[in-house]
Structure 1
Amino acid sequence: MDFARINGVTLHYRSVGNDSHRPLIVFINSLGTDFRIWDPVIAELGEDYAYLLHDKRGHGLSDLGEAPYSIDDHVDDLIGLLEKVATRPVILWGLSVGGLIAQGLYAKRPDLVRAIVLSNTAHRIGTAEMWNTRIAKIEADGLASLLEPIMERWFTPAFRRVDNPVYAGCCTMLLRQSAAGYNGTCAAIRDADFTEAARRIAVPVLCVAGDGDGSTPVELVKSTADLIPGSQFAVIEACAHIPCIEQPAAYAARVRTFLKTLPET
């Protein structure tokens, strides 16, 4: 296990193959997950790439820090980790709130970024009222009170089977999440708006949606792709909000096609 002290917070991270000249993919997690969600995608992509994964503050084995957070808190943590670990511009691959963090990092440090995959995300996600209601519910009744509606947004009915051990494991992952860290990041999502910043992205971008996503529907992801000059857009079928778990092979294949179009560095 690797840990780094950045901005007063200890972050848990994993670096794979980063001593080579292979393109470096930096995965940025969704809300309520840890970096193990990317393992099936890494297995699909194999040794063509190097990888950097981390648990953002308030998630996984990383410190809680001072919640609530802003997207800038998560952005600055990742910038600090990149300055410590990365040796070249990276491919940011952000899922859900991870996509907001990717947009924020590019806005602040475009020199660190070679390309971006914005997955199941948008320039703005939800409304203040929605996020405040969720925060209040968790403060009153705990994360377990929202397990079922969260899973309905994360996965399609076909995946949410009682005999599916991967689904059971994902439920456990969420239930073991720090409620304070979860709510702290809900506040960060609530306050983030990259509508104007998206128009200024000048590196290659692929926006990916799941056809059954209840958190960031296809139309919302497409609206973000429409803001970004020259971006590509793709839809993963039979998939909801967490394609790296539900459809890793199709997901990795579509992103690999995009990555193969990137100019050599």
Structure 2
Amino acid sequence: MEIEYRLDGPEDAPLLVLSNSLGTTWEMWQAQIPALTQHFRVLRYNTRGHGRSAVGQQPVTLERLGQDVIARLDHLDVERACFCGISLGGMTGMWLNRHAPERFQRIVVANTAARIGQEAGWRERAATVRAQGMNPVAESAADRWFTPAFRHSNPEVVYPLIEQLAATPAEGYAACCDALAMADLRDELTQMPLPMLVIAGESDTVTTSRDAEAIVVDAPHAHFLILPASHLSNVACAAAFNQHVITFLTAGAEHEPHH
């Protein structure tokens, strides 16, 4: 099995897939697990090139990352699941909404955009990491991921995530930068049929609230939520994040919120 994954929660509960951000592992969801496993069987996996998940021989693309999720569902013999992804994981969720909607019921995407950054920036970051390793990226990550107030108050939360980033295999991280350099779903938003909750962080400079609003404007069944966080809203606002995700994912069709 190329992709490292784990399952938590009751075996007979509906499946929820969690997809992490660039440079993190499934550990980034730790604050979600106690709440989510009350309602779901939770599948966490390490994105290709992260943790012990292989990069593989082929170039990493957004399509490949989406197919990795489908392969996990097939491996577990799960016909349909819910999905929640953040940043790169959120782009993976939008790709699945567009290209594999029959495999999912509802999708949450957080701190993401239909196009994250610019191709040149991602190519440059990939080249830096391949040449110098992960330290240059890890040194600046806390500023991108969290507000100054959260960093100051919660060092015991922030530092393990930075250490995980520094320990990410450089080639795996660079390969996912290459995927982000090419990933652009802006023209496909109107063809994402599933109910989708789009969560933004009001202080997020990587994927701004405006990026999230642009998804909601074009995707037919998308709903907007903003939290007082920077880029890792699931970490900084764990209780609110959990509550909104559970409410959205457990809403029955008869309670479908209007656009």
Q: TM-score, normalised by structure 2?
A: 0.92
Equivalent residue number for residue 260 of structure 1: 250
Tell me the alpha carbon deviations over residues 92-120 of structure 1, each in whole angstroms, 9 at most, x when there is no partner.
11111111111222332221011110111
Partner of 2:237: 247
Q: Distance in 2 between matches of 1:36 and 1:251?
A: 16
2:84 maps to which of 80, 93, 96 = 93
How do 1:54-69 residues align onto structure 2 when only pairs under 5 Å count? 54-66=45-57, 68-69=59-60
> Structure 1 residue aligned with 2:205, among 185, 193, 214?
214
The match for 1:75 is 66
Deviations 1:160-200 (A, max 9, x none): 23971221111110000011000100111110111122211
Question: How far has the Cα of 1:68 moved from its partner?
Answer: 4.0
> For the residues of structure 2 that align with 1:253 and 1:180, how far apart are their CA atoms?
36
The equivalent of 2:221 in structure 1 is 230
Name the aligned partner's letter for residue 150 of structure 1.
Answer: A
Distance 1:107 1:147 in 2: 32
CA distance in 1, matches of 2:99, 2:82: 15
SS at match of 1:258: helix
> Contact 2:97–2:193 (CA<8 Å) still a contact in 1?
no
Match of 2:257 in 1: none
Find the aligned partners of 1:151 and 1:66 in 2 and give their Cα distance: 31
Q: Which amino acid aligns with 2:20?
A: N
Asked if 1:128 is matched to 2:84, the reply is no
Work out whether residues 73 and 79 of structure 2, in 8 Å CA contact, stay in contact via their aligned partners in 1.
no
**Pair 1:102 & 2:106 matched:** no
Matched, 1:43 2:30: no
Q: How does 1:139-218 map to 2 (within 5 A)?
A: 139-161=130-152, 164-218=155-209
The amino acid of 2:250's aligned partner reads K
CA deviations on 1:25-81 (whole Å, 9 max, x unpaired) are: 111111001111112112233411211110121001212323641111211211111
Identity percentage over the alignment? 31
Q: C-alpha distance in 1, partners of 2:106/2:141?
A: 30
For the residues of structure 1 that align with 2:106 and 2:77, how far apart are their CA atoms?
Answer: 15
Q: Deviations over 1:198-228 (max 9, x none)?
A: 2111111100001111210111111111111
For 2:133 and 2:58, how far apart are their aligned partners in 1? Answer: 16
| Preserved CA contact (<8 Å) 1:67 1:181 | no
* Secondary structure of residue in 2 paired with 1:256: helix
1:31 and 2:14 equivalent?
Answer: no
Distance 1:49 1:142, change over 3 A: same
Give the AA of the match of 1:19.
E
Change (3 A) 1:163 1:54: closer
Q: Structure 1 length as normaliser, TM-score?
A: 0.90
Number of residue pairs matched by the alignment: 254
Structure 1 segments, 4+ long, off by >6 Å, are none
Give the SS at the match of 1:229: coil
Name the residue aligned to 1:11: 3
Contact 1:44 1:248 in 2 (8 A): no
SS of the residue corresponding to residue 40 of structure 1 reads: coil
RMSD: 1.8
